[in-house]
Chain A
């Protein structure tokens, strides 16, 4: 038997990573514009210690992963954790036979088209959209450069899905030491409403602004602007004190913030053009500038392992600038939301 589902094509945002790329492919399959869904929400929500060593980490405050990625839309997802590689493939194969592509976690070390092939272990996410029993192949779609869409031997995918994802050398950073476990992700999309109307956009902006108030912000929860400030200030202080253990956590969380912020900037820019609102376009550029702070944060911490004190001072300075821009942008967002 063989199947190759139509409607599976590449999608990627340059500030996203494999999670958003995979989500874009799957949402595109359902006829949605990924930017409409993935770019609508903007906030900062992180529960201290929640970070996981996977490229597709995302804080899940809304229940499922996809509901958290696109909280203003009717999407959801469910992780499945098969007990064996055989069961893992049987489940994915059965889902494909219903006409539904899925996402699978995989160690790049075993994927022939990944640059990390036979080199670096890492916990990656990609789409499976077909198989050919006779040829012993599966069809996968991975928009992350070098971008691949096509068949690979099922043995390769099975090895990647069943990998222990071990740490072998210095480049096995951030996303290793977390066994893949044959996990796969089922996504449901129940209705795509298309681009937000002016009224709907106002509602979305208002909800994002409420989120930034950080009502539930507490000792271990970092929510909204108070949580963002506390997260970054504490990280800078720990680094300055020589504590490099904060590096992995801040790098991964900053990656999420970078992706979410970059997507929201482009979401607002698209809305500005669609609705003919120059003020929205200016706001989009300001959001973009905050994304560019997050680019700096990632590299400040990633290069800070050997000299955490210097990295801590750099992060403290960056935090001050980021928070100032963030506060100004949130204020402007409130004004723009009331004027469009």
Chain B
């Protein structure tokens, strides 16, 4: 398993503390996840058996706009994704290989919105007890972050992943898994 740093691509603030509620804006309404209910920023956290590099507070997730994420070249089998969407959505993740070929694989993420079930068979990674609004903490809303995985089907070195140009998709962390 190889957690990938998304630091160069983080462009959205989805986690806030109670002292900085108005600094968040995971969705277009300025809502954010309570950082205090999630794993420590900057550390590695496991969801099931998959280790994810959990983002530091601040710009902490990637709102997908076609960013190219370089990965350590290798014959990876799975891309594990920690993320959520603003209303469920799906799009092609471009998988770039060392031979210059490009293949698309579906990246599907369910809604982060409270009381909304996963649509694409994801594992619930985190469900917070509160939802942050710019001027208050809502104690009756429980937003979700999902763990999804994308298969890499061709036995050829992968060198980069290009995220979809779909800003409804948010990615907090990526981890690559090699063949056994």
Contacts and interface: CB of A to CB of B under 8 A. Distances in A.
A296 B141 contact: no
Given A300-B167, A302-B28, A303-B28, A119 B88 contact: no
Interface in A158-194: 171, 173
B118 to A, nearest CB: 10
Given A115-B138, A171-B134, A299-B167, A146 B91 contact: no
Interface residues of A, number: 24
B85 A295 contact: yes
A53 to B, nearest CB: 16
Chain B contact patch, size range = 20 to 34
Contacts of B115: 145-147
State the majority secondary structure of interface residues on B: loop
A176 to B, nearest CB: 13
A280 interface: no
B77 interface: no
B167 A292 contact: no
A14 interface: yes
Interface in A274-327: 289, 292-293, 295-296, 298-300, 302-303, 314, 317-318
A310 to B, nearest CB: 8
Interface string B154-173: 00000000000111100000
Contacts of B65: 314
A15 interface: yes
Interface of A: 14-15, 113, 115, 119, 145-147, 171, 173, 258, 289, 292-293, 295-296, 298-300, 302-303, 314, 317-318
14 contacts: A14-B119, A15-B87, A115-B133, A115-B141, A145-B114, A145-B115, A171-B29, A171-B134, A173-B29, A289-B90, A292-B89, A298-B168, A299-B166, A317-B165
